[in-house]
Amino acid sequence: MADCYLCGKRAVFRTEDGPLCAEHFSKWYENGVANAISRYSMVNPGDRICVGFSGGKDSTVLLAALCRLNLDCELVAVTVDEGIGGYRDDTILAAKDTALRLGVEHRIVSFKDICGKTLDELLANSPQAACSVCGTLRRRALNAAAREIDADSIATGHCLDDESQSVVMNYLRGDVTRATASFNSNSGDLFIRRIKPLCRSTERATVAYGLCNNLLVPLPECPYTRYALRKDVRTWLGKLEYEKPGTLIRIADGQEELLSKMPKAEGEKKILGRCEKCGEPTSNKLCAACQQLERLM
CATH assignment at residue 211: 3.40.50.620
pLDDT at position 185 is 58
The CB density around residue 244, as the number of other CB atoms within 10 Å, is 10
Assigned domain for 83 exists: yes
pLDDT at position 1 is 66
The CB density around residue 99, as the number of other CB atoms within 10 Å, is 22
Assigned domain for 88 exists: yes
Bridge partners (DSSP) listed for residue 270: 185
DSSP string computed for 83-117:
--TTTHHHHHHHHHHHHHHHT-EEEEEEHHHHHSS
26-71 tens-digit pLDDT: 999 999 999 999 999 999 999 999 999 999 999 999 999 999 998 9
Cβ distance 106 to 77 under 8 Å?
A: yes
Number of structural domains found in the chain: 1
Cβ distance 135 to 177 under 8 Å?
A: no
pLDDT at position 265 is 59
The CB density around residue 231, as the number of other CB atoms within 10 Å, is 14
Assigned domain for 269 exists: no
Count Cβ atoms within 10 A of the Cβ of residue 23 and give its class: 0-12 exposed, 13-18 middle, 19 or more buried. Answer: middle
Look at strands 73-81 and 13-14 and give their pairing.
unpaired
Cα–Cα dist 63/72, whole Å: 14
173-216 tens-digit pLDDT: 898 877 777 666 555 667 899 999 999 999 999 999 999 999 99
144-168 tens-digit pLDDT: 999 999 999 999 999 999 999 999 9
Cβ distance 11 to 21 under 8 Å?
A: yes
267: pLDDT strictly greater than 60: no
Residue 73 sits in which domain range? Answer: 23-263
The CB density around residue 288, as the number of other CB atoms within 10 Å, is 19
229-249 mean pLDDT? 94
Which runs of consecutive H residues, i.e. helices, occur in 181-246?
Answer: 187-190, 203-212, 229-243
